[in-house]
Amino acid sequence: MEVAGFRIPEEVVGIREDIRSMRVRGAGRIARYGATALALAAERFPGGTLEEFVKYIEVVADFVRSARPTAVSLPNAVSYVVSRLKRGRPQTVEEAREMVVRAAREFVAYSENAVKTIAQLGARRIERGDTLMTHCHSTASVAVIVEAHRQGKVARVFVKETRPAFQGLITARELAREGVEVVLIPDSAVRHYMKRIDKVVVGADAVAANGAVVNKIGTSLVALAAKEARARVYVASETYKFSPYTIIGELVPIEMRDPTEVVEREWLAENPGVEVLNPVFDVTPPEYIDAIITELGVVPPQAAALILIEEYGVTPVSPELHSSYLDPG
């Protein structure tokens, strides 16, 4: 495939398609996959000047970033790599290539370690005998629950099936394999069972500067039911899921996917008068969240802006001046 005059390597086209089609999904995984795509692209650079290499990496970066719109971990991971290339001021194509490969590896290692730290910090928030609920499939949430289970704290976990893509089934399988007592319920049974729940643990695709959490559609309903039942809500999120763009008032785009993920194509054809909507993420306001468990510590959602300033160097006044993640342009 050719984009802006550059041939995009087949493996990179494949990675973007895997993310777009949700063969590879979950905010952390797509971030690691996105960073890896840049390393692959760097290794496959067909040859040319240093300037051409940098332009080529920028084109690949845009191509990868556009795979899915909501999980900010993807653009953050890509920008992490591109910004290190630009700041590194390479003198040769070989040097530039090494910088991209190194930065991608660094990001993947950071990300994997972050999930391990979150598991440890999150497990401390679970108390012996707790019944938990989770939503969708989040590697960070599963890591917290599994660690708490290993510490003998978890009584059972209610897992919502998470229509329309049924990622809850992945969670149920992973937890059951670890020996956790799992109960799988339809999404519509959330409020019915909430009175049995002590704590909710969910993941994040994006955390906004005001502490609002964007996660799989239905998360906000779980949080609402949890607030009513006085169950605590914890969000397990690596800091690269915090959105630097929101500090200057940008909204997190909510991905709309194909109606055929909700109903069969034939049903759609038979019922042309029905509009089927398939938003795949929603926003949980900070008032519904007790804490966000990050690799840097457990923070109240209201501290999200501080994490953004600390980690990304962005401030509402001059986001482009200090950022360690955003492309310098």
Site string for ligand RUB, 268-307 (x = CB under 6 A): ------------x---------------------------
198 catalytic per annotation: no
The dihedral sign for the CA sequence 74, 75, 80, 82: positive
> Which residues in the 191-230 window bind ligand RUB by CB under 6 A?
203-205, 215-216
Which is nearer to ligand RUB, 25 or 149 (by Cβ)?
Answer: 25
In whole angstroms, the minimum distance from the beta carbon of 80 to ligand RUB comes to: 16
Which among 5-13, 25-33, 105-113, 316-324 is the span making contact with ligand RUB, rule CB under 6 A?
A: 25-33
3-state secondary structure of 272: coil
Which is nearer to ligand RUB, 166 or 270 (by Cβ)?
Answer: 166
In whole angstroms, the minimum distance from the beta carbon of 328 to ligand RUB comes to: 27
Q: Which strands make up the sheet holding 297-299, listed edge to edge? A: 182-185, 154-160, 130-134, 199-202, 232-236, 291-294, 297-299
In whole angstroms, the minimum distance from the beta carbon of 272 to ligand RUB comes to: 28
Candidate list 28, 34, 164, 301; residue touching ligand RUB; CB under 6 A:
28
Catalytic residue among 130, 198, 205, 290: 205
CB crowding 44-79: b at 16 or more within 10 Å, else e: bbeeeeeeebbebbbbbbebbbebbbbbbbbbbbbb
Count of residues in contact with ligand RUB, rule CB under 6 A: 19
Rounded to whole angstroms, how far apart are CA atoms 299 and 204? 14
Site string for ligand RUB, 57-86 (x = CB under 6 A): --------------x---------------
Rounded to whole angstroms, how far apart are CA atoms 168 and 187? 10
> Which residues in the 133-192 window bind ligand RUB by CB under 6 A?
136, 138-141, 167
In whole angstroms, the minimum distance from the beta carbon of 24 to ligand RUB comes to: 9
136 catalytic per annotation: yes
Q: What is the dihedral of CA 38, 283, 218, 256, to 10 degrees?
A: -60
In whole angstroms, the minimum distance from the beta carbon of 30 to ligand RUB comes to: 7
In whole angstroms, the minimum distance from the beta carbon of 194 to ligand RUB comes to: 19
Beta bridge partners of 13: none
Query: Strand pairing of 154-160 and 199-202?
Result: unpaired
Which is nearer to ligand RUB, 57 or 225 (by Cβ)?
Answer: 225
Cis peptide before 164 (omega within 30 of 0): yes
In whole angstroms, the minimum distance from the beta carbon of 109 to ligand RUB comes to: 16
Answer for the pair 136, 168: CB distance below 8 angstroms, yes or no.
yes
Which is nearer to ligand RUB, 204 or 231 (by Cβ)?
Answer: 204
3-state helix, strand and coil shares in percent for the chain, rounded to the nearest 5: 50, 15, 35
Site string for ligand RUB, 97-136 (x = CB under 6 A): ---------------------------------------x
Strands (E), 127-284: 130-134, 154-160, 182-185, 199-202, 206-207, 213-216, 232-236, 281-284
> Which residues in the 238-257 window bind ligand RUB by CB under 6 A?
none
**Tokens standing for residue 240:** 């690269």
Burial classification of residue 303, based on how many CB atoms lie within 10 Å of its CB (0-12 exposed, 13-18 middle, 19 or more buried): middle
Rounded to whole angstroms, how far apart are CA atoms 207 and 240? 9
Which residues are marked as active site?
Answer: 136, 205
Which residue ranges make up the site for ligand RUB (CB under 6 A)?
Answer: 22, 25-29, 71, 136, 138-141, 167, 203-205, 215-216, 280
